[in-house]
């Protein structure tokens, strides 16, 4: 059998990690694949920097004495698999991925933003040409959640997917919880330690986690969800009081991705939640990722590990390459679209609702009365935190919908327009 020849587009942090594993572990990988796996080309704008950084041989960056180009790779009939690690969702990257597949080559990528926001025709092109599209590395780095759903649970029905899918936000929230830092302090620490970019927007506003959840929803339920359709709340407004309120009910605040199947509808959201300490997700700290699957027949499963990093993400890419070497053009599992997206505001949760109000007599009574008028039972009322003329306190509700919580808040505003000093913080409670 001819070798499986690989080309890499982009030799940065992830692409360089892939090249290192493919060259250092060539014999082992080939034995596992029962077929020789050979790195042939790397297309990189600054090859000398990549050679120095990753200790790679110059031959991978040259074709007939000239720098390797993307066109050269696409035209080479000996190339079987192209690894895209350029990143981004630009027209250039999108069109390059389509060209890879149109030229009859399998595609492996870690590009979650591209697949989540512009991936429909890429998935379609791969299916049309009966080619593999490997994207294990696009969701939670080293955690094998894609293969888990594709290959391990095809005899089951996934009733819900939940998890911590962004290491930066988890690192920030962990520091706030364990070190009693405010958000700005924890973010600065994350940046100083390399866990957050100079512009951390996509991590803290829930965008990065949303990309991953969209891909899991497509895989588990065959449902195409856009970023605009997904209900997303970031962690930017979480403060010390919120952490204390969560601690009072034996919970920790985590940015949670959730997709839940009920009555042929998939309810999905990305938002901070108060995760009860009995739930394993509450103990997943710092930059670690975790995914929980609740299945109809096989019950609950957890996958926990590093969600980013050069070698961690590269390993997932290489595992896709080995899979392609073994199975070639065998079509992989893809759930038939048979569900619709439900309104996330209809998901039933207990809620932790925190209020900042004027320090006036009767405030707690009015708020609890308005909540009760919506048919919501109250489990506990947290301790008031007074600061001059303001007061902060929280209420833990029984199970209800977000719609009813919001209706209660509107009733409070109607009864006493001057009372609330800011919008109440609404955290679903995850058991």
- Whether residue 330 is predicted with pLDDT greater than 70 in this model: the reply is no
407 DSSP β-pair partners: none
Please state the rounded mean pLDDT for residues 176-191.
97
SS3 261: strand
Please state the rounded mean pLDDT for residues 80-94.
97
- Whether residue 400 is predicted with pLDDT greater than 90 in this model: the reply is yes
CATH assignment of 347-430? Answer: 3.30.70.260
Please state the rounded mean pLDDT for residues 271-299.
96
β strands within 249-298, DSSP E: 251-262, 265-276, 288-295
pLDDT reported for residue 338: 84
> What is the β-pairing status of strands 348-349 and 400-401?
antiparallel
Core vs surface per residue 182-195: b (16+ CB within 10 A) or e = ebeebbebbbeeeb
104 touches 125 (CB < 8 A):
no
Tell me the per-residue pLDDT of 210-261, one tens digit each, with 9 for 90 and over: 999 999 999 999 999 999 999 999 999 999 999 999 999 999 999 999 999 9
| Residues annotated as part of the active site | 212
pLDDT reported for residue 415: 94
Of the CA atoms within 13 Å of residue 101, those in its CB half-sphere come to 24
Q: Which residue has the higher pLDDT, 335 or 288?
A: 288
Tell me the per-residue pLDDT of 133-181, one tens digit each, with 9 for 90 and over: 999 999 999 999 999 998 899 999 999 999 999 999 999 999 999 999 9
Tell me the per-residue pLDDT of 331-390, one tens digit each, with 9 for 90 and over: 555 556 689 999 999 999 999 999 999 998 899 999 999 999 999 999 999 888 888 889
Model-level pTM? 0.94
Please state the rounded mean pLDDT for residues 44-59.
96
pLDDT reported for residue 327: 86
Range name among 2-16, 31-45, 238-252, 373-387 with the lowest pLDDT average? 373-387
Could you identify the residue written with the tokens 């999108």?
94
β strands within 86-236, DSSP E: 106-109, 133-134, 158-164, 231-232
Burial of 295 (0-12, 13-18, 19+ CB in 10 A): middle
- Whether residue 309 is predicted with pLDDT greater than 90 in this model: the reply is no
341 touches 229 (CB < 8 A):
yes
Q: How far apart are the first and last CA of the chain?
A: 52
146 touches 220 (CB < 8 A):
no
CA distance 277 to 257: 17
Tell me the per-residue pLDDT of 192-215, one tens digit each, with 9 for 90 and over: 999 999 999 999 999 999 999 999
CA distance 92 to 2: 31
- Residue 1's pLDDT band, with cuts at 50, 70 and 90, is confident
Q: Which residue has the higher pLDDT, 397 or 307?
A: 397
Tell the CATH topology of 145-304: Dihydrodipicolinate Reductase; domain 2 (3.30.360)
CATH assignment of 4-134? Answer: 3.40.50.720
How many CB atoms are located within 10 Å of the residue 398 CB?
A: 13
SS3 173: helix
**Mean of pLDDT over the chain:** 95
β strands within 313-371, DSSP E: 340-341, 348-349, 351-358
Task: Give whole-number Cα distances, 319 to 73, 107, 115, 147, 284, in Å.
Answer: 21, 13, 19, 10, 25
- Whether residue 284 is predicted with pLDDT greater than 70 in this model: the reply is yes
List the domain boundaries for the chain. Answer: 4-134, 145-304, 347-430
């Amino acid at each position: 059998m001819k070798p499986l020849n690989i080309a890499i587009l982009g030799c940065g942090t992830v692409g360089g990690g892939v090249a290192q594993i493919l060259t250092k572990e060539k014999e082992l990988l080939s034995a596992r694949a029962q077929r020789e796996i050979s790195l042939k080309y790397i297309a990189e704008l600054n090859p000398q920097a990549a050679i120095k950084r990753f200790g790679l041989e110059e031959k991978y960056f040259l074709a007939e004495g000239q720098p390797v180009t993307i066109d050269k790779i696409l035209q080479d009939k000996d190339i079987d698999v192209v690894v895209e690690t350029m990143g981004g969702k630009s027209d250039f990257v999108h069109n390059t991925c389509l060209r890879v597949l149109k030229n009859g080559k399998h595609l492996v990528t870690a590009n979650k933003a591209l697949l989540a926001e512009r991936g429909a025709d890429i998935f379609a092109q791969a299916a049309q040409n009966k080619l593999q599209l490997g994207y294990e590395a696009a969701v939670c780095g080293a955690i094998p959640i894609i293969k888990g759903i594709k290959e391990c649970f095809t005899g089951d029905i996934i009733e819900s997917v939940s998890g911590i899918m962004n290491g930066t936000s988890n690192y920030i929230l962990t520091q706030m919880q364990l070190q009693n830092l405010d958000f700005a302090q924890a973010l600065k620490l994350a940046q100083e330690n390399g866990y957050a970019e100079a512009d951390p927007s996509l991590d803290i506003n829930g965008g990065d986690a949303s990309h991953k959840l969209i891909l899991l929803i497509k895989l588990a339920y065959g449902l195409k969800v856009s970023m605009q359709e997904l209900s997303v709340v970031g962690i930017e407004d979480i403060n010390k009081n919120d952490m204390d309120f969560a601690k009072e009910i034996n919970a920790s605040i985590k940015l949670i991705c959730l997709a839940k199947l009920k009555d042929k509808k998939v309810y999905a959201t990305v938002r901070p939640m108060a995760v009860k300490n009995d739930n394993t997700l509450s103990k997943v700290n710092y930059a670690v990722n975790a995914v929980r699957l609740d299945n109809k027949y096989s019950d609950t499963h957890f996958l926990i590990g590093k969600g980013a990093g050069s070698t961690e993400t590269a390993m997932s890419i290489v595992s896709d390459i080995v899979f392609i070497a073994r199975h070639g053009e065998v079509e992989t599992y893809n759930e038939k679209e048979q569900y619709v997206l439900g309104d996330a505001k209809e998901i039933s949760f207990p809620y932790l609702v925190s209020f900042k109000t004027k320090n006036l007599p009767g405030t707690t009574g009015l708020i609890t009365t308005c909540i009760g008028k919506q048919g919501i039972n109250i489990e506990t009322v947290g301790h008031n935190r007074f600061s001059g003329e303001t007061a902060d306190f929280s209420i833990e509700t029984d199970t209800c919908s977000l719609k009813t919580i919001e209706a209660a808040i509107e009733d409070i505003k109607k009864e006493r327009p001057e009372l609330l000093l800011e919008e109440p913080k609404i955290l679903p409670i995850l058991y």
